[in-house]
Amino acid sequence: MAHHDPIGLIAPNAGLAQLNERSRDIFRQIVESYLATGEPVGSRNISRLIAMPLSPASVRNVMADLEQLGLIYAPHTSAGRLPTELGLRFFVDALMQVGDLTESERQSIQSQLASVGKGQSVEAALGEALTRLSGLTRAAAVVLTAKANSRLKHIEFVRLEPERALVVLVGEDGQVENRVLTLPPGVPSSALTEATNFLNSRIRGRTLAEARLELETALAQSRTELDQLTQKVIAAGIASWSGGDGDNDDRQLIVRGHANLLEDLHALEDLERVRLLFDDLETKRGVIDLLGRAERADGVRIFIGSENKLFSLSGSSTIIAPYSDAAGHIVGVLGVIGPTRLNYARVIPTVDYAARIVSRMLGG
C-alpha cells in the first residue's frame, strides 16, 4: 500500500533534502528543542512555535511522516518526539547554519590560547589549551598527539617486581612517560643496568620510530657484546615504547573538562550515558582509533552517535579537527566529546578555530 502523504512532505523520487518548507520548520523545531532542553516536544507546543499557522492535528501528520523517514522517534515515556541519529546528521548536514565566529569570539579564543605554550612542554601546553577549549564549548575536550615525534633524551629501567619493570622515557621537550614492562624470568638487576647504558648511548635526539630502527640494527650487530638476558630486556623495551601491538600505542590522549559533560544534564539516562562515555574514554584505544581516522582528513569532522563506532552507547557526538606542526604536517587532532545534545552551530567553528590557533602555536 502506498504511503499516505497528506501535505506533500515528500516530493516524488526525492531524498531527505527535498522536505518542503513547513516540514523542515517542524523538524527544525523538534531538533532545536532537543538541543536546548534534551526533552521530547509535542505537536501542541510545535504548533505554537512554528512561523506558519498549523493545527496540532496537521503537525501530527507531518511528525508521522518525519517518523516514517527515520528522522524522529517517540520515546516510550512521552507523546513528544526526539530526533534520531539520522535526524541529527540530516540537521547538521542540510539544515543547520554554522555561523562564523564573531570577532570578539575569535579574540577571546586567541587570548585564552595565547598564554599557552610559553616555557611549557608540548604536552603541558596542549593540556592547557584543552582546558580552555572545554570551557569555551562546555563539553569535554580531547587532543591526540603523535608521541613518535618527540625526541628522546634519556631512558631508565626500574625493577618493580621480579618479572616487571618500569621504563621511564624522558623527552628533549621535558615530557616524561612511564610504561610498565613484563620481563623474561630470571633477569638480574645487572641486565637492567646494561640495557639502560646500551640504550642511552644510542637513543639521544632520536624519535621513537628512529630509535627503534637503530636499536633493532644495533641488537643484531651486538649479540656478542650483550648477553642474552640483556638483549631480551632491550627487545622488550623496544616493543613497549615503540607501540607494542600497533601504531595506536604511539599516540597520547589528553582529556579535559569531564565536569562540563555533567552540567545541564537532567535526565538520568543522560547521566548514565555520560558515565559510560567516561568508562569508554578510559580505555582510550577507541578514541585514538577515531581521532586517527579524523587526522587523515582535512577540516572539521563530526561523528554523531553510533557513526563513531566508538562508545558503548550511541548517545555521544565527537567534533574534531586536525592541527599541524611548523612543516605543515598533521601531528594531532583536537576536539570535543559530549552528548548528542551539543550546540553544534557554536562548537563546530570553535573547534575549527582552536585547531588553527594550536597549529600557529606549534609554528604550523
pLDDT at residue 346, rounded to an integer = 87
Residue 12 pLDDT exceeds 60: no
Average pLDDT for residues 8-18, to the nearest whole number?
Answer: 44
Q: Return the pLDDT at 244.
A: 45
**Which tens digits make up the pLDDT trace of 113-127?**
776 655 566 667 777
pLDDT at position 241 is 60
Question: Above 70 in pLDDT, residue 309?
Answer: no
In angstroms, rounded to a whole number, what is the distance separating the alpha carbons of residues 87 and 68? 12
Non-local CB neighbours of 222 within 8 Å, separated by 6+ positions: 198
* Cell (9 digits) for 263: 552540567
Average pLDDT over residues 29-39: 88
For residue range 238-280, list pLDDT tens digits in order. 766 654 444 445 566 677 766 665 555 555 555 566 666 666 6
Determine the pLDDT at residue 165: 83
pLDDT tens-place string over residues 192-241: 888 888 888 888 888 776 777 777 777 777 766 677 778 888 777 776 66
- The pLDDT assigned to 247 comes to 47
* Residue 16 confidence (pLDDT): 58
What number of residues does the chain have?
364
Mean pLDDT check: name the lowest of 8-17, 85-94, 255-264, 348-357.
Answer: 8-17
- Per-residue model confidence (pLDDT) at position 252: 66
Pick the range with the lowest mean pLDDT from 43-57, 177-191, 247-261, 332-346: 247-261
Percent of the chain residues past pLDDT 70, beyond the cut: 70
- Residue 17 — pLDDT band, cuts 50, 70, 90? low
Half-sphere exposure of 154 (CA within 13 A, CB side): 8
Higher pLDDT, 264 or 307: 307
> How would residue 87 be classed by pLDDT, with cut points 50, 70 and 90?
very high
Q: 196 or 5, which is more confident?
A: 196
Sheet hosting strand 140-146, strand order edge to edge? 251-256, 140-146, 330-339, 316-324, 301-304
Query: What pLDDT was estimated at residue 11?
Result: 37
- Measure Cα distances from 53 to 10, 32, 47, 57, 237 in Å: 20, 19, 7, 12, 71
Q: What does the pLDDT average to over 10-24?
A: 62
Q: What is the pLDDT of residue 290?
A: 62
Long-range contacts of 131-135 (CB under 8 A, 24+ apart): 131/256, 131/257, 132/354, 133/256, 133/257, 133/334, 133/336, 133/350, 133/351, 133/354, 134/256, 134/257, 134/260, 134/336, 135/257, 135/260
The number of helices, as runs of H, and strands, as runs of E, in the chain is 13, 10
- 144 vs 62: which has the higher pLDDT: 62
Task: Find the mean pLDDT for residues 167-180.
Answer: 75
Taking 70 as the threshold, does the pLDDT of residue 292 lie above it?
Answer: no
Task: Confirm if 55 and 64 have CB atoms less than 8 A apart.
Answer: no
Whole-number pLDDT of residue 277: 64
Helical segments of the chain, H only? 21-37, 43-49, 56-68, 85-90, 103-114, 122-137, 189-203, 208-221, 228-241, 258-262, 268-283, 285-295, 344-361
pLDDT at residue 26, rounded to an integer: 92
Task: Give the tens place of pLDDT for each residue, 149-166.
Answer: 567 888 888 888 888 888
